[in-house]
């Protein structure tokens, strides 16, 4: 499976990049390196060039978390984040912003290889979405800007996490259409919905609460029992 598969590794630790890069090349991958978020953005202008990105959380200038937030979900390639030991909050934030997996540094190249292969197997048949808004959306008094990742009601800025923003973006861009929990889980959390999985319910609930502070008398996101969620058409 690895033959010809191109990976992008983004880390300011050049020695680590060379070490892991050489190991992955030996395993049949093609590996390109970037040592800053800006270098990565330049390479990602042709995102279809890569099958997966390995992204360090802590980098000088723009961090890996900031880069991931900027990219998701318009850039859909799988991402494995590298985090320092004990940096649990970074792992949580990374997963909420759309990372597919994480690994603590210093990482074992063999374990990283196993995770890369597992993610590539999952992504071979993963759905590709064209439903995320490419430009600003205004509906029911809400303005959502996917470029700046900002949501406003009138002049009030609504503070959303990366995951909450993506949930609202999909629902708002598809107002009047029911989106299932399975669909939203795959699009936003990049995994399949499992039994007793309440994660999407929690994210939708938090979005509702934050919108209700500015628009208290409007039921904007409806739960369609047995089907999913729908942003009202108006």
Would you give the DSSP letter of residue 47?
A: G
Q: Which CATH superfamily includes the segment(s) 6-123?
A: Response regulator (3.40.50.2300)
Length in residues, the chain = 234
Task: Identify the helix (H) or strand (E) that includes residue 167.
Answer: helix 162-173
Alpha-carbon distance values, 98 to 52, 72, 109, 186, 223 (Å): 13, 6, 23, 10, 24
Whether 3 shows a pLDDT value over 60: the answer reads: no
pTM of the full structure: 0.59
Residues 31-70: b if buried by 16+ CB within 10 A, e if exposed: bbbbbbbeebbebbeeeeebbbbbbbbbbeeebbbebbbb
Give CATH for domain 137-231.
1.10.10.10
Query: What average pLDDT does range 27-46 have in this prediction?
Result: 91
Band of the pLDDT at 87, cuts 50, 70, 90?
Answer: low
Radius of gyration, alpha carbons of the chain: 19
Average pLDDT taken over every residue of the chain: 87
Tell me how far apart the alpha carbons of residues 99 and 107 are, in angstroms, rounded to a whole number.
17
Which pLDDT does position 221 carry in this prediction? 96
**Each residue of 45-67: pLDDT tens digit?**
865 789 899 999 989 888 998 89
Strand 150-153 and strand 142-145: pairing? antiparallel
Residue of 92 and 115 predicted with greater confidence: 115
Per-residue pLDDT at 33: 96
Which sequence spans correspond to the domains of the chain? 6-123, 137-231
């Amino acid at each position: 499976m690895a033959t010809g598969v191109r990976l992008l590794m983004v880390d300011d630790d050049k020695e680590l990049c060379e070490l892991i890069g050489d190991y992955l090349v030996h395993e049949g991958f093609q590996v390109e390196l970037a040592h800053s978020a800006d270098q990565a953005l330049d390479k990602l202008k042709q995102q279809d060039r890569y099958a997966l990105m390995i992204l360090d959380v802590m980098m000088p200038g723009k961090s890996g978390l900031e880069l991931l937030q900027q990219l998701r979900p318009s850039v859909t390639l799988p991402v494995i984040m590298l985090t320092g030991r004990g940096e649990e909050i970074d792992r949580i934030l990374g997963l909420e912003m759309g990372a597919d997996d994480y690994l603590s540094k210093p990482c074992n190249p063999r374990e990283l290889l196993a995770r890369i292969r597992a993610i590539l197997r999952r992504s071979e048949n993963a759905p590709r979405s064209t439903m995320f808004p490419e430009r600003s959306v205004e509906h029911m008094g809400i303005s959502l800007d996917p470029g700046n990742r900002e949501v406003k009601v009138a002049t009030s800025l609504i503070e959303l996490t990366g995951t909450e923003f993506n949930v609202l973006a999909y629902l708002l861009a598809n107002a009047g259409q029911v989106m299932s929990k399975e669909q939203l889980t795959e699009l936003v959390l990049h995994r399949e919905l499992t039994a007793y999985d309440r994660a999407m319910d929690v994210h939708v609930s938090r979005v509702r609460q934050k919108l209700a502070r500015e628009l208290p008398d409007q039921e904007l996101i409806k739960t369609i029992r047995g089907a999913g969620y729908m942003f009202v058409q108006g």
